[in-house]
Structure 1
Amino acid sequence: MENTETQRGKLYLIPTTLGDTEPLEVLPLSIKRVIENTTHFIVENEKTARRFIKRITPNKPQPSLILYTLNKYTGHEEFNSYLKPCLEGQDIGIISEAGCPGIADPGADIVALAHQKNIRVVPLVGPSSILLAMMGSGMNGQSFAFTGYLPIEKNERRKEIKNLERRSRELQQSQAFIETPYRNNKLLGDLIQGLKPDTRLCIATDITLASEYIVTKPIAEWKKSQPDLHKRPAIFIIHAS
C-alpha cells in the first residue's frame, strides 16, 4: 500500500506577532526555517503577509512567493485549489494577521479540509493572546472557555454577560471573550455595570508589546478606575465567586 503522507506536502500553521514587535523576539527559529523553505502561503492580507515574510527572511525573493487569500468570502472550492500544491508534494504555510491561525482567527476550515485529504497538519509555536491572557490572569487554567465576540446589540450583550457570569459561577470556569478594539470601552462599561462586585475581571491588552497591560481585580475595584482601551486589542476574562 502506498504511503500517501510521505508523498504529500505539509500544511504549516504559522503564528505571527501580536503587534509591531521584532518577530524573532516572540517567535522561535523554527518559523524562520519553515518560511525559508516554503513558497506557497495562504494568507489573510497579501501586503501584510509579504511584509512579515520579509522581516523574517529578508533574503527570500518576493517574486518567488505564491500567495492565496483567505477571508470570509473564500469558498470551499477555492480551499480545494489552495491545497493542491500539498497533494503534489509541496509544503504550504497558513499565516495569520496576528497570533495563531485557527484560534480566534481564520484557518480552521482549511485545516479541517487538510485532515480530510490526509495532509499532515503542523502547528508551530507562537503567541496566542488567549493563552497568554489566561496565563497572566491568575484565573482557572484548568477549566476555561473562549466565547469570541459578544453580541453587538446592547440588551443582548448585557444578557450574555449575565449568562457568562452564571456559567462561571456554576462550573467554576473562567470565561474569556474579545471585542472589536474601538468598542472596548463600551464593553468594559457594560461589564462593570452588569457583573457582581466580587466577580473578578482580567483585562489583558497590548500583549507582548511595550505597552502590555494585564491586570485582574474584582469589579468593585474596577469601578474606581478603568484603563482607556480604545483601539487597543484586548482579551477580557471573568471568574465569578
Structure 2
Amino acid sequence: MSLTRQSSFQEQSNNSRGSLYLVGTPIGNLEDMTFRAIRTLKECDIIAAEDTRQTRKLLTHFEISPQLLFSYHEHNKSASGPELIRYIIEGKNLALVSDAGLPAISDPGADLVKLAIAEGINVIPIPGANAALTSLIASGLPTERFTFIGFLPRERKDVEKVLQSFRASQGTLLFYESPHRVIKTLNAILSVYGNRQVVLARELTKRYEEFVRGSVEECLEYLQEHPPLGEYCMVVEGTSVEEEQEQLAAWWQNLTVEEHVAHYETEGHPRKEAMKKTAGDRGVSKRDIYNALI
C-alpha cells in the first residue's frame, strides 16, 4: 500500500464526494449509544447494515429515518460493496453499522473500508461499545498486552492450528464463540494450552450479564450444570514468563521432527508412541507430526 494521508475534518480535497462513517452501536444496552453516533446516523444519506431488521429496531428507537437502508453482509458484499462505494463517489454520506458493537470487527465491514481507501474516500470512525474490550477490562486478567482472535475455524484440526500459533503468547487472548460451540472450544483450549485461567462473558450490558471466572476445567464443570446461552466472549490467560522460558529451554529445540521421533525410537518406543511423545513435547497434534514426516 502506498502512502496516503487523510485529514477527515480540516480538508476536503473533493467536496463532491461523500464519506464512509463507521458507527459503533450498542452491544446490548441502548443507553450505550453515543450522541455523536445518533447525530451521524441522522445526517448520513445511507445506512448500510449487516442485519437490516435488527438495525430498523435501533433506528426506530432513536427516531432515525435514513433516505436508504442498505443490506450489506458477508453473502452479498462482492456485489453490494462496489455499489455502496459508487454512492459515496456520487456525493452520498454513508454510515456502516454492524449487528452490534464496532463495524469491521469480525464482519464484512473491513472489506468495504479497503474499497473506500482504494478510492481515496475518507473513512471516519465513530467509536462505541466493543464486546471484546468490554470483556477484557472486567476479566481480572492482564490488560497490558492482548490479542484479539475472534471466531475460531469450524474444523478441529484448524482450531488446533490457530491455537498452537498463539501458544507462546504472553498477552491475554480474546475469542468470540457461539453457545453451541463454547464447550468444544474450551476442550480444545484445555488440550493445547492446559488448565489456564479463563473468563466466559455473555449478555454483556444486558439484564442477564454474566462473567464466569475460573480455570478451564472449572468453567467446563460449570457449563455442565448451566448450559451455554447467548453469544460468548472468552478471555484466556496468556502463557507465563516461566512457561515461555521452559519452552525455550526444551532439550529438543534444535532437533528436527524426524530427529525428535528417532530419539524416542532409540529409547525403545514403537514409532506410533514415539510420534505421540514428540507431539506432546511440541504441543501439537499427532496428525501434525505425521504430516511433517511425510
TM-score by length of 2: 0.68
* Residues 176 and 233 in structure 2, CA contact (< 8 A), matched pair in contact too: yes
Contact persistence 1:43–1:68 (CA under 8 A): yes
Contact 2:22/2:97 (8 A) holds in 1: yes
> In structure 2, which of residues 137, 140, 143 is the aligned counterpart of residue 138 of structure 1?
140
Are 1:9 and 2:11 an aligned pair? no
Equivalent positions of 1:1-241 (< 5 A) are: 3-19=12-28, 21=29, 23=30, 25-57=31-63, 60-61=64-65, 65-158=67-160, 160-164=162-166, 166-168=167-169, 172-192=170-190, 195-197=193-195, 199-219=196-216, 221-222=218-219, 225-226=222-223, 228=226, 230-239=228-237, 240-241=239-240
| Alignment RMSD (CA, Å) | 2.6
Residues 183 and 220 in structure 2, CA contact (< 8 A), matched pair in contact too: no
1:30-59 Cα shifts (integer Å, max 9, x gaps):
1111112123111112222222211122xx
How far off is 1:229 after superposition? 5.4
What is the one-letter code of the residue matched to 2:168?
R
What do residues 6-30 of structure 1 show as CA deviations (whole Å, max 9, x unaligned)? 33222111122223x3x2x111111
The structure-2 alpha-carbon separation of the partners of 1:80 and 1:157, relative to structure 1 and needing over 3 Å to count, comes to closer
Task: Decide whether the 8 Å contact of 2:212 with 2:219 is kept in 1.
Answer: no
Identify if the C-alpha distance between structure 1 residues 11 and 48 changes in structure 2 by more than 3 Å, giving closer, same or farther.
same
C-alpha deviation, 1:79, in angstroms: 1.6
More divergent stretch after superposition (155-164 vs 92-101)? 155-164
> Aligned partners of 2:57, 2:36: CA distance in 1, in Å?
18
Q: 1:77 to 1:222 in 2, by over 3 A?
A: closer
Deviation at 1:78, TM superposition (A): 3.3
Residue 223 of structure 1 and its aligned partner are, at CA, apart by 5.7
> Which amino acid in 2 is paired with 1:93?
A
- Give the Cα separation in 2 of the matches to 1:178 and 1:167: 20
Relative distance call for 1:98 and 1:75 in structure 2 (3 A) is: closer
Moved more, 123-132 or 212-221: 212-221
Which of 70-79 and 89-98 deviates more?
70-79
What are structure 2's unaligned runs of at least 5 residues?
1-10, 241-294
Aligned residues, how many? 228
Which structure is larger by alpha-carbon Rg, 1 or 2? 2
In the superposition, the TM-score normalised over structure 1's length comes to 0.82
Q: Distance in 2 between matches of 1:189 and 1:154?
A: 11
Name the structure, 1 or 2, with higher relative contact order (CA <8 Å, separation 6+). Answer: 1
- Residue type matched to 2:115 in 1? L
**CA–CA distance in 2 between the matches of 1:83 and 1:153?**
35
Deviation at 1:194, TM superposition (A): 5.2
Gap regions ≥5 residues in structure 1: none
